[in-house]
């Protein structure tokens, strides 16, 4: 906490790295400094700002559920102290100003922001709403429509967009602190005090209609989340007396804190941050350069990886075996950027700047100077052997050699080189330039500095990197195997693809397993099944998806998979061809269809994930249960509000999960050994642990 007086202005600057969270210590420090300014006769005005290039990321959610969260001064008490200050307070906003930080700034009498600042109330992303007056002050400062959009979406808004609202008195191109100090010292502040935000009348005659329209939209878009609805209620209450609206907001905040959705979202928030903490990796672990890259393979995945690297400003070589394949890859990359320009997400100049970093080549001899080479070729151990032998020959000493394999043995691939300590897996998810998850697969010989370098690369690519050990499918696809096998067996037993997808989407998945299969393409999964049947004697799996592929129905790319797509990929339609295929398949295997409830579908698919996740955890493939949750939240569409499969299992109760697993083990259909409980699940369930 810093306090200084310049002229007649007291400058209070608070710091709590990395985001200036409003912890109890910070709140107490600000309160003490404001009180000090009140009794200093030389001070006429106060400027409040955050240190380190940002105002505040909001409340310190590490304090949620602890005595520090409610210790005085609470955030609401601090806000009241600032708002009732006898001397005008000017907030100098730089960087980000979020959540409780923005609520604090709204209590100031004036607000000056740098042009690059971004402001928002993102509490709904944690299953909450602003709990310190945000739903009451923001509508008075920016209007109800904009407040609804900001609070219900939780998205950040540039200061330049808010420049002509009551929220910001001044937006400056330069130093917001200097602008705030000039304003604080001006005659305007001395002679014409600004009204408090709480005293501004909310002039919105159609308030009820706007709020009802917002509720209607939320019912369609976000039916599982209570926080946005409660936020609308609180904003509507802003039409009445301020203190009554404040009471509505506070009651909703406290109730939302106890909802499973908020607990799941808060778990997800912390889980992503914990995933970056890896045994054996410290800030002192050396990191290799990442100035230039090479991508081997210009197919769909290789092109997506290339775009992710170009987006991060990393120059790269793109390698293909022949000119036609290379041209197709370059067209894919250009097409991705052209689509972004068309949607106004990127300027033509920026597109051209990124494409200028791309160097296509047909020979490995050109890429020896790259710091990292990422292989993205066909999922075949023999093909990968050829690639890594070539990389071993041409790459400079110290280069990181990465495979994008989704299932193959990274240790075997490392063995194709004379430098296995430089080899690891970087498993991207399609589309690689969009999906946030990056599974970083640590091989038996992967050195700590290569692993640290891969984590640094993940951060540069704005990915959520999760470290996995080596096994078939790593964390995500190993669990997915059981999930989709159960889905196929459920069809054999009587469910339809659309019923299963509907049940999982009602549970909260972005897409059900059959729609996902059609999106990804069934030829890839068929190759994986063939590999597993060859490598794992006794591996049992329905032959129904193989028969689908034999009909040429490989998914959206062929116009049909489990669904027909007569109007394009976003419009799946139940297929009569698939209905007949399923009917004939059931007759062939002697399966009499039965009526299956949606609850059984959800339990079988989700608990298949949990049971395999418990094995993965016990084997040390994943370092912690929350890492498994992060994989499924960021890579597989698991509903974020449920916290991930392992957190969800804890919330449901492991004893219930175990009971259902044992019930399913009595099902004679499918694989008799599939539902053998994981030993860790059994131990934890019997001991009442999580």
Amino acid 295: pLDDT: 98
Query: Is 80 exceeded by the pLDDT of residue 221?
Result: no
588 with 496, same domain: the answer is yes
487 with 612, same domain: the answer is yes
Amino acid 205: pLDDT: 87
pLDDT category at 528 given cuts 50, 70, 90 is confident
**Hey, how many other C-beta atoms are within 10 angstroms of the C-beta on 50?**
29
Amino acid 65: pLDDT: 75
Amino acid 272: pLDDT: 95
Residue with tokens 């409610």: 70
The SS3 call for residue 113 is: strand
Q: Is the pTM of this model over 0.85?
A: yes
pLDDT category at 469 given cuts 50, 70, 90 is very high
Residue 118 lies in a domain: yes
333 with 247, same domain: the answer is no
Amino acid 226: pLDDT: 93
161 with 247, same domain: the answer is yes
CB 518 within 8 A of CB 563: yes
309 with 367, same domain: the answer is yes
Q: Distance (Å, rounded) from C-alpha 559 to C-alpha 30?
A: 62
241 with 386, same domain: the answer is no
Read off the CATH number of the domain in which 322 is found: 3.40.50.720
- Burial bucket for residue 79 (CB in 10 Å: 0-12, 13-18, 19+): buried
308 with 384, same domain: the answer is yes
Q: Phi and psi at residue 543, in whole multiples of 5°?
A: -90, 0
The SS3 call for residue 312 is: coil
Amino acid 239: pLDDT: 94
Q: Rounded to the nearest 10 degrees, what angle do helices 134-142 and 226-237 cross at?
A: 60
Indicate the helix (H) or strand (E) that contains 558: none
Residue 640 lies in a domain: no
Q: What is the pLDDT of residues 251-274, one digit of tens each?
A: 999 999 999 999 999 999 999 999
Amino acid 567: pLDDT: 82
User: Region 275-286: what's the mean pLDDT?
Assistant: 94
567 with 611, same domain: the answer is yes
Domain boundary among 468, 486, 517: 468
Q: Distance (Å, rounded) from C-alpha 246 to C-alpha 92?
A: 25
List CB contacts of 590: < 8 A, sequence separation 6 or more. none
Amino acid 281: pLDDT: 95
Q: Distance (Å, rounded) from C-alpha 501 to C-alpha 499?
A: 6
Q: Write out the two tokens for 238.
A: 């802003």
Residue 636 lies in a domain: no
The residues annotated as belonging to the active site are: 103, 123
Q: Distance (Å, rounded) from C-alpha 634 to C-alpha 467?
A: 14
Query: Is 90 exceeded by the pLDDT of residue 530?
Result: no
Amino acid 310: pLDDT: 98
Amino acid 174: pLDDT: 86
| Average pLDDT score over the chain | 94
Residue 647 lies in a domain: no
Amino acid 659: pLDDT: 97
Q: Write out the two tokens for 66.
A: 């602890």
Read off the CATH number of the domain in which 38 is found: 3.90.226.10
Residue with tokens 């509903």: 639
Q: What is the pLDDT of residues 80-96, one digit of tens each?
A: 999 999 999 999 999 99
Domain boundary among 449, 468, 487: 468
Q: What is the pLDDT of residues 317-361, one digit of tens each?
A: 999 999 999 999 999 999 999 999 999 999 999 999 999 999 999
Query: Is 90 exceeded by the pLDDT of residue 554?
Result: yes
- Left if phi > 0, otherwise alpha if psi is -120 to 50, otherwise beta: which for 58? left
Query: Is 90 exceeded by the pLDDT of residue 68?
Result: no
453 with 508, same domain: the answer is no
List CB contacts of 70: < 8 A, sequence separation 6 or more. none
DSSP 560: B
359 bridge partner residues: 317
pLDDT category at 379 given cuts 50, 70, 90 is confident
Q: Measuring CA to CA, how many Å separate 136 from each of 57, 73, 152, 215, 218?
A: 20, 20, 14, 18, 20
pLDDT category at 70 given cuts 50, 70, 90 is confident
Q: Which of 189, 169, 171, 97 is nearest to 134 (CA)?
A: 97
Q: Which domain holds residue 365?
A: 293-468
pLDDT category at 1 given cuts 50, 70, 90 is confident
Longest dimension (CA), the chain: 92
CB 144 within 8 A of CB 202: yes
Domain boundary among 437, 468, 499: 468
Q: Distance (Å, rounded) from C-alpha 461 to C-alpha 20?
A: 25
Q: Rounded to the nearest 10 degrees, what angle do helices 497-507 and 513-520 cross at?
A: 110
Q: How many helices (H) and strands (E) does the chain have?
A: 29, 19
pLDDT category at 389 given cuts 50, 70, 90 is very high
185 with 332, same domain: the answer is no
pLDDT category at 60 given cuts 50, 70, 90 is confident
Residue 21 lies in a domain: yes
CB 417 within 8 A of CB 375: no
Amino acid 386: pLDDT: 97
Instruction: Tell me what percent of the residues of the chain surpass a pLDDT of 90.
Output: 88
Amino acid 407: pLDDT: 87
Residue 262 lies in a domain: no
Amino acid 79: pLDDT: 97
245 with 321, same domain: the answer is no
pLDDT category at 533 given cuts 50, 70, 90 is confident
The total domain count for the chain is: 3
Indicate the helix (H) or strand (E) that contains 1: none
Residue 268 lies in a domain: no
Instruction: Tell me how far apart the terminal alpha carbons of the chain are, to the nearest angstrom.
Output: 40
Q: Distance (Å, rounded) from C-alpha 282 to C-alpha 448?
A: 9
Q: Measuring CA to CA, how many Å separate 552 from each of 17, 515, 520, 667?
A: 56, 17, 15, 32
Query: Is 90 exceeded by the pLDDT of residue 167?
Result: yes
Amino acid 448: pLDDT: 97
Residue 286 lies in a domain: no
301-315 in b/e form (b: 16+ CB < 10 A) is bbbbbbbbbbbbebe
Read off the CATH number of the domain in which 677 is found: 1.10.1040.50
517 with 444, same domain: the answer is no
């Amino acid at each position: 906490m810093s306090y200084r007086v310049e002229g007649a202005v007291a400058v209070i600057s608070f710091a709590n790295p990395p985001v200036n969270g409003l912890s109890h210590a910070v709140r107490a420090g600000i309160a003490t400094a404001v009180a000090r300014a009140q009794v200093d006769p030389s001070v006429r005005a106060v400027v409040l700002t955050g240190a380190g290039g940002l105002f505040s990321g909001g409340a310190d959610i590490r304090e949620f559920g602890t005595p520090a969260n409610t210790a005085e001064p609470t955030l609401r008490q601090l806000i009241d102290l600032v708002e009732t200050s006898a001397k005008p307070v000017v907030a100098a906003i730089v960087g980000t100003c979020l959540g409780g930080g923005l609520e604090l700034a709204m209590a100031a009498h004036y607000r000056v922001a740098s042009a690059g600042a971004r402001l928002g109330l993102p509490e709904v992303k944690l299953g909450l709403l602003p709990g310190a007056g945000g739903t009451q002050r923001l509508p008075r400062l920016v209007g109800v429509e904009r407040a609804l959009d900001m609070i219900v979406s939780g998205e950040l808004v540039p200061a330049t967009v808010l420049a002509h609202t009551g929220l910001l008195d001044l937006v400056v191109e330069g130093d917001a602190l200097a602008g705030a100090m000039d304003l604080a010292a001006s005659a305007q502040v001395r002679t014409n005090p600004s009204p408090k935000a709480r005293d501004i009348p909310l002039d919105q005659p159609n308030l009820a209609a706007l709020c009802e329209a917002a509720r209607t939209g939320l019912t369609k878009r976000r039916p599982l989340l209570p926080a946005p609805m409660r936020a609308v209620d609180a904003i509507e209450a802003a039409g009445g007396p301020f203190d009554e609206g404040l009471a509505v907001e506070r009651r909703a905040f406290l109730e939302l804190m106890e909802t499973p959705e908020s607990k799941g979202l808060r778990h997800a928030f912390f889980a992503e941050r914990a995933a970056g903490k890896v045994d054996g990796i410290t800030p002192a672990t050396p990191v290799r350069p990442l100035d230039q890259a090479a991508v081997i393979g210009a197919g769909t995945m290789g092109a997506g990886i290339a775009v992710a690297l170009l987006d991060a400003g990393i120059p790269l070589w793109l390698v293909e075996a022949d000119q036609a394949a290379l041209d197709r890859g370059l067209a894919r990359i250009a097409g991705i950027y052209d689509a972004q320009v068309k949607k106004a997400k990127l300027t033509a100049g920026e597109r051209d700047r990124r494409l200028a970093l791309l160097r296509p080549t047909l020979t490995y001899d050109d890429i020896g100077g790259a710091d990292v080479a990422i292989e993205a070729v066909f999922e075949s151990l023999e093909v990968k052997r050829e690639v890594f032998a070539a990389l071993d020959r041409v790459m400079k000493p110290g280069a990181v050699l990465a495979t994008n394999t989704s299932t193959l043995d990274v240790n075997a691939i490392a063995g194709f080189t004379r430098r296995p300590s430089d080899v690891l897996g970087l498993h991207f998810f399609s589309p690689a330039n969009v999906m946030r998850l990056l599974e970083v697969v640590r091989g038996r010989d992967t050195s700590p500095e290569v692993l640290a370098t891969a984590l640094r690369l993940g951060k540069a690519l704005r990915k959520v990197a999760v470290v996995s050990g080596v096994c078939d499918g790593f964390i995500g696809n190993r669990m997915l195997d059981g999930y989709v096998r159960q889905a196929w067996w459920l069809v054999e037993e009587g469910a339809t693809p659309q019923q299963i997808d509907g049940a999982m989407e009602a549970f909260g998945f972005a897409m059900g397993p059959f729609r996902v299969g059609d999106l990804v393409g069934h030829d890839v999964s068929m190759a994986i099944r063939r590999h597993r049947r060859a490598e794992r004697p006794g591996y049992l799996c329905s032959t129904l998806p193989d028969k689908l592929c034999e009909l040429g129905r490989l998914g959206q790319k062929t116009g049909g998979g489990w669904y027909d797509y007569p109007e394009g990929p976003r419009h799946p339609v139940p297929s009569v061809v698939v209905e007949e295929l399923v009917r004939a398949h059931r007759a062939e295997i002697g399966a009499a269809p039965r009526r299956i409830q949606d609850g059984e579908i959800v339990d079988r698919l989700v608990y298949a994930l949990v049971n395999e996740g418990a094995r993965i955890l016990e084997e040390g493939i994943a370092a912690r249960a929350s890492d498994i949750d992060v994989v499924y939240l960021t890579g597989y569409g698991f509903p974020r509000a449920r916290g991930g499969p392992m957190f969800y299992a804890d919330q449901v109760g492991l004893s219930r999960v175990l009971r259902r697993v044992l019930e399913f083990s009595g099902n004679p259909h499918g694989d008799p050994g599939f539902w053998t409980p994981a030993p860790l699940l059994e131990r934890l369930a019997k001991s009442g642990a999580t």
